[in-house]
Structure 1
């Protein structure tokens, strides 16, 4: 059995109610209100034409102007259409411009005057004109009010939907920026691990006369670094996914010694100097220091293998000075890189309210200098 949609049923019920009420109102006007009206064959014709006129209200939504002016013309000669024309006026005011509805209202008032001329035995022309003007004005005002309310509600709804869309876009942009920032940091971590692997592998390649224990230790370090690099790469990929896990805990100053020890185990010569008066800096400052030193060690391994790296972290007044210095070398591990590590560090320190400089010195060293505000 075919079911009728609820929306269609409600529309049909409303349309039927509008037609029936308009026709009944027209019949009441014809038989109970008018003192003089059509008789005999004209009465039957009035009742029939009025029924057809009321059926025109079925098109009140699609063609309101056509229905309105047609019923205004019929109401001039057919008494039973005298309510349907005012209903049509309401729908014109509801769906069309107010100026158009006013024109139709004037037309309906003139139509009532024409009907009075056909049957002058009814109420006086002044009373007829007054009543018609009042009804037309009420129908026009009611329709225009409903239209303005609907327009206002639609504007509020669209504004709310637009605000919700903008909020979703803003949240998505924030999430995307955060994922990109974290992925960039994890890229630095992966580069650090890969450079350790390359350094250890280079050491094994040129090793001569080492015992099996030293070779096994170097191989174990390569294996551990490679596994950590793979694990961190999976973390990066997960962060870039919508449903990926949250970011891992970021290391700070408390992990600086671990970072240097790891580099030393890989064969890199690192001299670390940390101001003993410094307390452990948690939060953004500690993470910034850790990343700066990590990037400095990674670059030294890539571009100056075998050279000693001097790392110093000292407090100077209200600033934290981080310096990573190594001698320039012509040899390189040949590890590819994006070339954006130092650019990212510059952006990081700038956002933190500090500054970062890097480059060669007059004595043939490469110096990475960062100044961060001390909390």
Structure 2
């Protein structure tokens, strides 16, 4: 059954129903006047008129009881010509809103009604001519109704597809927004985590050196001020991406790696860097290597402040890039959980088809190692 049946009548439905009622009444009266010439009793002629007009009035309820009224009209048109057009409209209504088998069954009922009509009304024309003419009229009306039904189904299918496409597009947009937010959160963690770790180291040095000279305090304060200023600048750049959708996240490059290491050295962390990676490196690989080193230095500053860090970055086109950081491992409590930084690094490495591992070495040091693809 069509989903439009039973719903509240729209303005278009009111117009269509009004036209159908008017046409049924006018043509029904024409047929009734023509049928007055038939050799039938007066009481049957009066019954023809009143039942025919009743069928026309029932057209206003054809959307509520379409099949019931169509069957009733088929019975009444056995003797009524005034209700012939109304019966045809009832049949068309069923053909538009119901399956083909229901329509064919109703068409069979109407053909039987036509045969009985030809016998009851005693037409001057041959019975076969009356049956064939009326059958052609009904088949044509049903065919047109089936075309209307198929067209409505096609339009509804196109609307459903459009709605699904819009829903999928909205979901994809939300997913893209979530991925962008995750990327921004990762950038904020990488950028600000390292800067704030440097601030923590210098502030801790001042706290544990109450006997420091004025010059040393001034130098440490200047480093803290510069690091805080840079952290604020990095934060502004990241937040700026949120305000400008067309912008891109500020991304470091592999060439910035020595500057990153030098900043940690100025913070008092003894860092040893071995860099051997000649050739032109893809941006995404170099950026991932930078983030791995940055996260490793941040973890060293947090968990093993003042301890030496050894960094090795080696590779060549076609062989891949190997990144390794080692530092003395802190004595962690057994219940301490792994931070989100290492999880994020693992995801970063996987995104460029690389791999990352971390853990304690047999010597008791903490080791962070990654291999990244470097196509030739």
Partner of 1:177 in structure 2? Answer: 179
Cα deviation, residue 69, structure 1: 1.7
Partner of 1:216 in structure 2? Answer: 218
- 1:109-128 paired onto structure 2 within 5 Å: 109-128=111-130
Change (3 A) 1:315 1:100: closer
Do residues 312 (structure 1) and 341 (structure 2) align?
Answer: no
Partner of 1:268 in structure 2? Answer: 269
Task: Give ranges in structure 2 of 5+ residues lacking alignment.
Answer: 1-8
Task: Give ranges in structure 1 of 5+ residues lacking alignment.
Answer: 1-6
Change (3 A) 1:115 1:321: closer
TM-score (normalizing by structure 1): 0.85
Partner of 1:367 in structure 2? Answer: 367
Partner of 1:107 in structure 2? Answer: 109
What secondary structure does 1:79 align onto?
coil
Give the aligned CA root-mean-square deviation in angstroms: 3.0
Cα deviation, residue 197, structure 1: 1.5
Distance 2:39 2:359 in 1: 106
Distance 1:359 1:121 in 2: 103
Distance 2:280 2:104 in 1: 79
Partner of 1:142 in structure 2? Answer: 144
User: What do the CA deviations read for 1:302-360 (whole angstroms, capped 9, x no partner)?
Assistant: 2221122222222256222222222335599xxx9961222221222232122223233
TM-score (normalizing by structure 2): 0.85
Distance 1:169 1:301 in 2: 41
Partner of 2:26 in structure 1? Answer: 24
- Aligned partners of 2:35 and 2:81 also within 8 Å: no
Distance 2:238 2:249 in 1: 10
What secondary structure does 2:251 align onto?
coil
Distance 2:254 2:181 in 1: 23
Partner of 1:349 in structure 2? Answer: 349
Q: Of the candidates 92, 95, 102, which is equivalent to residue 93 of structure 1?
A: 95
- Aligned partners of 2:79 and 2:121 also within 8 Å: no
Distance 2:123 2:163 in 1: 59
Distance 1:328 1:98 in 2: 78
Partner of 2:297 in structure 1? Answer: 297
- Aligned partners of 1:252 and 1:281 also within 8 Å: no
- Aligned partners of 1:35 and 1:121 also within 8 Å: no
